[in-house]
Amino acid sequence: MTDNAGWVERAQGPFFPNIKPAEIVLTHGEGCRVFDADGKSYLDLTSGIAVSALGHAHPALTEAIREQAGRILHTSNLYYNAPSIELAEKLVASSFADMVYFCNSGAEANEAAIKLARRYHHDQGDKARFRIVSFEKSFHGRTYGALTATAQPKYHEGFGPMPEGFDYVGPFDLDGLAATVSRATAAVIIEPLQGEGGVNVPPAGFLARVREICDANGALLIFDEVQAGIGRTGSVFAYEHDGVVPDIMSLAKGIGGGLPLGAMVARGDVGKSLAYGTHATTYGGNPVACAAGNVVLDTIRAPGFLEGVRAVGEHLASGLRAIAGRTKRIAEVRGRGLIWGAQLADGLGFNAKDVVNACRARGVLTHVAGLDVVRFVPPLVLTEAEVDEGLEVVEEALTSLS
């Protein structure tokens, strides 16, 4: 069996250099732990960037995937398949939505949402209403529409010209939003909790005001819940915390439990504009991915599960705040449920990536959310004992750096 070094050496040849993975090769996992090709164990506080919601090798998830793979792997959108119908019914029953469109990723879900918003106004006879407004520090994906909606110039560099019709306002800037949204605006797209941009939670009442601004101008409201949805914030969907209902919502990451699965959901009067022939994807609604999605959604909706997510999340947040108090190396802790960011204090001489590397060397996997924020998005099955284990390493890593 090849070890980490052997696999990493082989990886230097065939791949594009657009990503730079850590020089370990993960081979298997169980619960909230993963193992590399050298046999080293890691406590996983990243869950594959908020994807492996039920952890690794979850028995019910594994069995559902195995069973469906033994029946049929792929049908395309030329035919129905039962797992996708079941999952669509559950998403409708669990949310504001009446209609579901399945795809493969968050970027695809956001592309579909942008297209739907523009098509809806086109169908209303308002073809001049096509502009999309988004917020700085947002992240909506890497395909061209989603990339342009991502109001972070570093992701645009070298890929211009970007598609026309996108406007940006500052993070949580209501005055800027009110000045920007107009009768030319098709939709405002926003993460109800920013993940990639730094784990930023909007101020109380902010989303309600965004809804009001959209309604006053006849614009649709799109919530990007690719990272914040599917139990991550301690509710099935993040919009539930504020009681603000969007017109369209994008989902991905945790919904497939580790398999590629995305979804766009919408109100029926809006969704009907995605009429026959207007949009499609060959792999959307894949039966194996949807079989996994059914297990994920059934599990997080089971009695007591989300209460557990909230309790363990608060334990994690309290522990991070205690570390901040003891070490003075964390300036702020912010998040909800089991998505948390620890913003490093100024002037430390090291950055979030250094902390991630130091944690990994000690057997704990974390992630960044920008240059100065360490992000924690563990499996939703994390325990308080595992939190304590992870935090001990985080504190040791922080204090070891200079």
Looking at residue 402, its pLDDT comes to 82
In this structure, the answer to whether residues 237 and 316 fall within a common structural domain is no
Q: Model-level pTM greater than 0.75?
A: yes
Residue count of the chain, please give it: 402
In this structure, the answer to whether residues 333 and 293 fall within a common structural domain is no
Which residues 6+ apart lie within 8 Å of 256 measured at CB?
A: 51, 289, 292, 293, 296
Q: Check if the beta carbon of residue 78 is closer than 8 Å to that of residue 282.
A: no
The pLDDT of 179-183, averaged and rounded, is 97
In this structure, the answer to whether residues 259 and 229 fall within a common structural domain is yes
Above 80 in pLDDT, residue 321? yes
In this structure, the answer to whether residues 360 and 374 fall within a common structural domain is yes
Mean pLDDT across the chain? 97
67 found inside a domain: no
Above 80 in pLDDT, residue 208? yes
211 found inside a domain: yes
151 found inside a domain: yes
Looking at residue 225, its pLDDT comes to 98
The pLDDT of 213-233, averaged and rounded, is 98
User: pLDDT digit string (tens) for 10-64?
Assistant: 999 999 999 999 999 999 999 999 999 999 999 999 999 999 999 999 999 999 9
Question: What is the span of the domain harbouring residue 333?
Answer: 4-57+304-400
In this structure, the answer to whether residues 95 and 184 fall within a common structural domain is yes
In this structure, the answer to whether residues 385 and 309 fall within a common structural domain is yes
Looking at residue 389, its pLDDT comes to 98
In this structure, the answer to whether residues 92 and 213 fall within a common structural domain is yes
Q: In percent, how much of the chain has pLDDT > 90?
A: 99
2 confidence band (pLDDT: 50, 70, 90): confident
85 found inside a domain: yes
66 found inside a domain: no
Above 70 in pLDDT, residue 1? no
Residue 47 tokens read as: 């869950």
The pLDDT of 382-394, averaged and rounded, is 98
What CATH number has the domain bearing residue 36? Answer: 3.90.1150.10
Q: How many domains does the chain divide into?
A: 2
In this structure, the answer to whether residues 151 and 267 fall within a common structural domain is yes
The pLDDT of 105-117, averaged and rounded, is 98
In this structure, the answer to whether residues 98 and 39 fall within a common structural domain is no
Above 80 in pLDDT, residue 342? yes
Above 90 in pLDDT, residue 82? yes
247 found inside a domain: yes
The pLDDT of 252-257, averaged and rounded, is 98
In this structure, the answer to whether residues 244 and 322 fall within a common structural domain is no
The pLDDT of 344-353, averaged and rounded, is 96
Instruction: List the beta bridge partners of residue 124.
Output: none
The pLDDT of 354-374, averaged and rounded, is 97
Above 90 in pLDDT, residue 316? yes
In this structure, the answer to whether residues 93 and 158 fall within a common structural domain is yes
**Domain C-terminal end among 270, 300, 330:** 300
Distance separating alpha carbons of residues 200 and 343, to the nearest angstrom: 10
Q: Check if the beta carbon of residue 199 is closer than 8 Å to that of residue 85.
A: no
Burial of residue 18 (number of CB atoms within 10 Å: 0-12, 13-18, 19+): exposed
Distance separating alpha carbons of residues 109 and 184, to the nearest angstrom: 23
The helix/strand count (H/E) of the chain reads as 14, 15
In this structure, the answer to whether residues 372 and 229 fall within a common structural domain is no
What CATH number has the domain bearing residue 210? Answer: 3.40.640.10
Looking at residue 253, its pLDDT comes to 98
Q: Strands, E, within 310-387: which ranges?
A: 330-336, 339-344, 364-365, 367-368, 373-376
User: 240-252 as b/e, with b when 16 or more CB fall inside 10 Å?
Assistant: bbbebbbbbbbbb
Backbone angles phi, psi at 286, to 5 degrees: -50, 130
